[in-house]
Chain A
Amino acid sequence: MSAPAEAALDALRKALGDGLQSCSLDGGTLRLQVASASLHQAALHLRDADGLRFDYPGDLFAWDTGERFVVVYRLWSTTLSQTALLRVELEREGAAVASVTDIWPGMNWHEREVYDLYGIEIVGHPDAGDPTRMRILLPKDWEGFPFRKDYVPVFSGDPLHGPQETN
């Protein structure tokens, strides 16, 4: 990793303090884990700092370990051709994470999908607070979050929601 990148990461360590839970370089990929409260600040730094310049929103998705949720932001730099995996772990109860749509507009729909499938609140998203606008892949009146490990499918008999009851 280049000298400006080292300097930028040092600055990030200072700025976030305990908010930066881990930071390592693994085969050219920068792996970071931050506390959810520090996410937005870390994301902004990753995009704008010299030597980092993660200007390209590669991907954003979550998974459920059974105990907690993990949210991963895969970022890429078009000028420096490097990848960062920014990771946040969330407790299941009241899981919420700050929106980064203002930093990378391309994250907008990915964030809606994370809400849609896992029920993780996206604080500050343009559609936040209105479940009918946040839902993206599922019908807007869907109940529950089907990618959670504890999700139990409910068939209502409504053709939109599952097979119709037969006699």
Chain B
Amino acid sequence: MTAMQPAVGASTSSDMTINLGPQHPSTHGVLRLMVALDGEYVKSCRPVIGYLHRGLERMMAARPYRQSVPFTDRLDYCASLNSNLAISQAIERIGGMAVPERAQYLRVMLCEMNRIASHLIFFGTYAADIGATTAFLYAFRERERLLDLLEAYTGARLTYNWIRPGGVASDMPEGYAQAVCAFLDGFLKELDAYDTLLTKNPIFRVRTEGVGIISPEKAIAHGASGPVLRGSGVNIDLRRTEPYDAYPRMQFDVPVRTEGDCLARYLVRVEEMRQSARIIRQCLREMPEGEHWGKQPKVFRPAAGEAYSRTESPRGELSIYLVSDGTANPVRVRVRGPSFVHLSMLHELVRGVKVADMIAILGSLDTVLGEVDR
């Protein structure tokens, strides 16, 4: 803030409206920001979304329940397994299906592996947004190893379609637990190196500390969730407050920062990667023998009614609501994604900041447009 900064909202002859995106690398996908600028300062910003709208909810409602799982891969494509879990849970609840205990552990393990992969994308692209290209290369190297592991199990690198109503598609291959443990050993050492590379980097801190502050009241009133909410000092993690699958049996800490700025959201995500590693190790250690797949009805026609799931995806609360009228197809499949909600806060966060800070704030929300546009 300098003496040169004009009053927010005051109209001057130097106003300029520019479009950032929909093809700008800093917008992390096809997002367009209509920004009114006064010199370096943002006077107002209106996000324009929908470039990736495929009508996934309507498509899911036009076919039998269990065929909707592959569509969820295309929501948050950085963390598809977490989306698979959300739809599977909603279908299990509306149809009263049970999930074997081993499958619950496999699900939690997969979701946490995907959480690390997703946070690594955040780590890399956020550094790149701010101008530190090296961190991007490091993060993608580790992510590559993790995707290789996921590919060895599920056969896919991004669109897994692996967690399904009733369990997971198949059990782990032989020797998989050792391979995952070996990865985690190396990964945790690398994560410490990332701290030296980026977290303690004075330029990175100047760009993020005190930038884009969200108060806890504002975060709650806007429906923020995940690292955005916990970066503002609100200790809510659905894996804790409304635990599902094997999470009630897991020991892990929920990182919370009270600063509410971009750095706080970054630090929450970095610490979450360590906690995810802890959870994966527990899963591998404590996983019981048994089935990976519950008993399935041949024809799935849940009774008329409604059911929903609330899950903690890497970005926050991912919730799917199903409405049944007793036929084979749902009446409505509703996807409530965290990115959509976080993006709706952007215009308030960036009013009066510099353009470069706007990019830092947008990156710290870690939105994925596949989930925003659906």
Q: Which residues of B contact A59 (CB under 8 A)?
A: 319, 321, 334, 336
When the two chains form the complex, which single residue of A104, A105, A137, A147 contacts B50, counting CB atoms closer than 8 Å?
A137
A139 to B32, alpha carbons, bound, how many Å? 13
Q: Are A61 and B321 in contact (CB under 8 A)?
A: yes
Mask: chain A, 52-89; 1 = CB below 8 Å from B; 0 = not: 00011111010111000000101000100100000000
B221-A105 in contact (CB<8A): yes
Closest beta carbon of chain B to A124's beta carbon, Å: 17
Contact status B373-A146, CB under 8 Å: no
Q: Which B residues contact A (CB, under 8 angstroms)?
A: 49-50, 53, 55, 57-58, 220-224, 234, 236, 241-242, 308, 310, 317, 319, 321, 323, 325, 331-332, 334, 336, 340-341, 343-345, 373-374
Please determine whether A106 and B321 come into contact, CB atoms closer than 8 angstroms. Answer: no
CB distance from B62 to the nearest CB of A (A): 11
**B143 → A minimal CB distance (Å):** 30
CA distance A57 to B222 in the complex (A): 7
Q: How far is the CA of A56 from the CA of B344 in the complex (A)?
A: 15
The answer on a CB contact under 8 Å between A137 and B373 is yes
The 7 closest A-B pairs by CB, nearest first: A106-B223, A63-B332, A109-B344, A106-B222, A137-B50, A59-B336, A57-B223
Contact A138 B331, CB 8 Å, known A58-B319, A105-B221: no
In Å, the complex CA distance between A106 and B228 comes to 14
Given contacts A72-B321, A105-B221, contact A58 B336 (CB under 8 A): yes
A147 contacts across to B, CB distance below 8 A: 57-58
Question: Size class of A's contact patch?
Answer: 20 to 34
Q: Are A138 and B53 in contact (CB under 8 A)?
A: yes
Of A72, A74, A81, A109, the most chain B CB neighbours within 10 A belong to: A109
Interface residue from B58, B241, B242, B344 paired with A106 (Cβ < 8 Å): B344
Given contacts A55-B221, A61-B334, A147-B57, 6 further A-B contacts (CB under 8 A): A57-B221, A105-B221, A106-B223, A106-B345, A109-B344, A139-B50
Contact of B241 among A55, A81, A136 (CB under 8 A): A81
Q: Are B220's CB and A56's CB within 8 A?
A: yes
25 A–B contacts from the bound complex (CB under 8 Å): A57-B221, A58-B310, A58-B319, A58-B336, A59-B336, A63-B323, A63-B334, A64-B332, A72-B321, A74-B321, A74-B336, A78-B234, A81-B241, A104-B221, A106-B341, A106-B344, A106-B345, A107-B223, A109-B341, A109-B344, A135-B50, A136-B50, A137-B373, A137-B374, A138-B50
Complex contacts, B49 vs chain A, CB 8 Å: 136-137
Question: B308: which A residues are within 8 A, CB to CB?
Answer: 74
Measured CA separation A58–B325 after assembly (Å): 24
Measured CA separation A61–B55 after assembly (Å):
14
Question: With A55-B221, A56-B223, A81-B241 in contact, do A109 and B319 touch (Cβ < 8 Å)?
Answer: no
Residues of B within 8 A of A146 (CB): 55, 58
Q: Which of A108-154 contact B (CB under 8 A)?
A: 108-109, 135-139, 146-147
